[in-house]
Structure 1
Amino acid sequence: ENGRSPDIVSAYSFNTGITLATEACQEKSNEIKAVPILLDKIDIAGKVVTADAMSMQKDIVEKIRKKGGDFLIELKANQPSLRYGVEDRLAGHTPVYSYSEDPVLAHGRIETRTYRIYDGLDIIADKEKWGGNMTVIEYESSTVKKSTGAYTSEKRLYVSSMPTHTPKPGIFVRNHWSIESMHWGLDYNLQQDNIKRKSTR
């Protein structure tokens, strides 16, 4: 329509490797509007929906809760009051539990991943906006480059509707990363980022 190549949002099943449904973003719209429509196409009851930070929106979180699913979404600066409020309050709280995974050697680097799980009750200020309490997951990666010994670290924050006693929620974090890595494949192999979004005619 109008010679336009729209962005398409997909619901992908990590366990089966199958795309369950898709929704094209309408002209002058975006992923935020497309995700709730996409969620109406699939049964997520009893399932965990992972999504990137753009999906940390009231309507999307509400839709997942109402359909009986759980979510795990990364916190970034698109929700600044939530992100930085959580970051500031974590310093005064003790995690419900924490654990580290065995070091992984890949791409010439040794990486150790640590997860700290917090009850969001006293950490998240505007719980009502998000439909109730959430669990906060702090992920920390410590990496040593094998050839030089150079050390780097990185922290990320996630929020989830899953209870704090969920065993090893880092599994869901890693599963989502494996899906995000497909974006690299699309760009590297198919040069997706170079596709013109508007017709040149």
Structure 2
Amino acid sequence: MQLHIKLVLELSGCIVTIDAIGCQKQIVELITQQNADYVITLKKNQGNLYDEVEKLFKSGISTGFNCVQHSTYKTEETGHGRHEIRNYVMLCGISSQLNPDSVWSNFNSVGMVESVRSLDGKTTVETRYFISSLESNAQQLAKSIRSHWGIENSLHWLLDVALREDDCRIRKDNAPENFAVLRQIAVNLLTQ
């Protein structure tokens, strides 16, 4: 399968954040060609890379990240009946180990977020991984990830609650795509 993507946004100086669906070499190359940085969610759709990153973090945790250039950052939030602690770790200087053939453009670091959430007496732990062109700065990683989800959550809330997108019964021909575009235009106009 060959992927043809044309980038029409001016990204110079920006940090682009993308979910795991965007964890593709061609997308990363387009971002870096525009002198932008990236933070992209890494999931098991990138099997070998995911496994190697997971092993690297497990090894680092067991040795206290000795001999590995890293940074850490921690946030703690309480609200809406829940308490959440997020531990961010970012490793850099790993390019030769994880990207020896330089197939990922400007691949400088990997990040990990461990979220420990307590809600109604139950505690859950979730670990997520990221690839990035950023140098080791866990606080910047945290800000990028949280900003991504803040935008994502507010947009989906607006589409689902205010515009009742999930209740829409339009299903025929191009109508669903057309109405999705109209909703996006409405959201853009309302936010201006």
TM-score, normalised to structure 1, is: 0.70
Distance in structure 2 (CA, Å) of the matches to 1:49 and 1:58 = 14
Distance 1:183 1:83 in 2: 28
Unpaired stretches in structure 1, ≥5 consecutive residues: 1-31
Any idea what SS the aligned residue of 1:54 has?
helix
The aligned counterpart of 1:153 is 125
The equivalent of 2:178 in structure 1 is: none
Counterpart in 2 of 1:124?
98
Do the aligned partners of residues 86 and 192 (structure 1) sit closer, same or farther apart at CA in structure 2, a change above 3 Å counting?
same
Q: Is the 8 A contact 1:90 1:123 kept in 2?
A: no
CA contact (8 A) 2:99 2:107 kept: no
- Counting helix residues as a fraction of each chain, which structure ranks higher? 2
Equivalent residue of 2:90, what SS?
Answer: strand
- Give the RMSD, CA atoms, in angstroms: 2.5
- Look up the match of 2:25: 58
User: Is residue 43 of structure 1 aligned with residue 10 of structure 2?
Assistant: yes
| Alignment: residue pair count | 163
Matched, 1:199 2:173: yes
Structure 2 residue ranges without an equivalent (≥5) = 176-192
Q: 2:77 aligns with which of 104, 114, 117?
A: 104
- Measured in 2, the distance between the counterparts of 1:127 and 1:114 equals 31
User: 141, 146, 149: which one pairs with 1:177?
Assistant: 149
Identity of aligned residues (%): 31
Contact 2:72/2:139 (<8 A) preserved: no
Kept in 1, the 8 Å contact 2:95–2:107? The answer is: yes
Asked if 2 retains the 8 angstrom alpha-carbon contact of 1:86 and 1:123, the reply is no
Aligned to 2:189: none
Shift of 1:52: 1.1
